[in-house]
Amino acid sequence: MTDVQICNLALARLGDARITTLSDSSAQATYCSLFYAQTVEELQADFDWSFCRKLSSLTATTAPSSGYSSAFTLPTDFIRAVRLGGIDASENFGTWEVVGTTIHTNLSAPVLNYIANITDTTKFPAIFVEALTIKLAAVLAMPLTGSKELFEQMAGLFGATIQKPAFVAATEAYAPARTTSQTINQAEICRQAILRVGSAEMFKPHGEPMVIATSLYEQTRDELLADFDWAFARATLGLVADSVAPYVGSGGYSKRYLLPSTILTVWRVEDIDSSVNLGQWEIVGQYLHTNMGSPIRLLVTEKITDVTKFPPIFTQLLTTTLALKLCGIIENK
């Protein structure tokens, strides 16, 4: 099947004359030459055609002046990105962005899964040829025949064609298990939380949900750390009493100890757990009040900001909790 044969199939649907080449002087050849390549690319861009899918290891170019850390040159036959580094377009919240002939991202050495512009007609499957001839006939109907009725007939026929099982099979996105190289960091946790609420089709990649998720992240992380006795966040430390005693009326304690700002929860002072503490120590603001002599030993939960130290269960709970907060806010907007 050649480009001329495809054009003649489209012309036949309109009851119009055949052409022998795209370069002859007839009106049919002129309009076919004008619209053919554009229509092919449009149809390939509109669906996830299996025969148009390609994988490419990208070449780094000059780093962006702001925003992302890296820029990579896109393949010359690039039409549309399907996935970069394991992150689908429908799941992309600020992880990558196509800018001109480059793709900007914070991923390192990512593999691009994309829809390519395939111009070799011998690689067109039969269902693509059928859809292409109908779409091309619809494009040619008005300039060649002036018939709005023919245009509408072709548009209706195209709608029926894309419902065929062969069309669905040729454009269905079969994807292996994702093996994203995306590092688990704050941005990735926020992205995963948004995906539990909706897809990138619902929310703009750099839109309000990402702003809200980012603003809620630290508070949600610290709340979750403080609520449970996480083994990875436990720490023991010794404190020396302040030179200033607690103010009068603070419960009769004789000493106070300044707690570091990184402490979220105090679980034990010396050998007295919080669950069995009967007035032997008390947290007052940023201080611990007690009669115990200096120095004292504490078992605490510390604020952990390094996400590489989060165990999987904590990351999962943090993502889910953040998603629940987002859901409540977004639904009320």
- For residue 163, the SS3 value is coil
Whether the model pTM is above 0.75: no
- 231-285 residue pLDDT tens: 899 999 899 998 888 876 556 788 899 999 999 999 999 989 988 988 889 998 8
φ/ψ (deg, to 5) at 41:
-65, -40
- Can you give the three-state secondary structure of 230-259, one letter per residue? CHHHEEEEEECCCCCCCCCCCCCCCEEEEC
CA distance 124 to 169: 14
Interacting residues of 122 by C-beta distance below 8 A, sequence separation 6+: 1
Q: What are the average pLDDT values for consecutive 10-residue runs of the chain, which has 333 residues?
A: 95 91 92 95 94 92 82 94 86 84 87 95 96 96 92 95 93 60 77 79 68 91 93 91 76 87 92 88 90 91 92 90 86 57
Same domain? 147 vs 248: no
CA distance 315 to 183: 13
Same domain? 265 vs 288: yes
Same domain? 169 vs 200: no
Same domain? 251 vs 144: no
> What pLDDT does 68 receive?
85
Same domain? 316 vs 177: no
143: left (phi over 0), alpha (psi -120 to 50) or beta: alpha
Same domain? 22 vs 4: yes
Percent of the chain past pLDDT 70, that is, above it, reads 92
Same domain? 134 vs 172: yes
Same domain? 117 vs 248: no
Same domain? 209 vs 90: no
Buried-exposed string 231-259: b where 16+ CB fall within 10 A, e elsewhere: eebeeeeebebeeeebeeeeeebebbbeb
Same domain? 77 vs 36: yes
Q: Is the CB of residue 50 less than 8 Å from the CB of residue 56?
A: no
CA distance 47 to 43: 7
Same domain? 238 vs 318: no
Q: Is the CB of residue 182 less than 8 Å from the CB of residue 86?
A: yes
CA distance 35 to 44: 14
What is the span of the domain harbouring residue 321?
A: 186-227+311-331
CA distance 17 to 29: 10
Percent of the chain past pLDDT 90, that is, above it, reads 58
> What pLDDT does 205 receive?
60
Same domain? 57 vs 124: yes
CA distance 319 to 189: 6
> What pLDDT does 199 receive?
66
DSSP state of 74: P
Query: How many domains would you assign to the chain?
Result: 3
> What pLDDT does 34 receive?
93
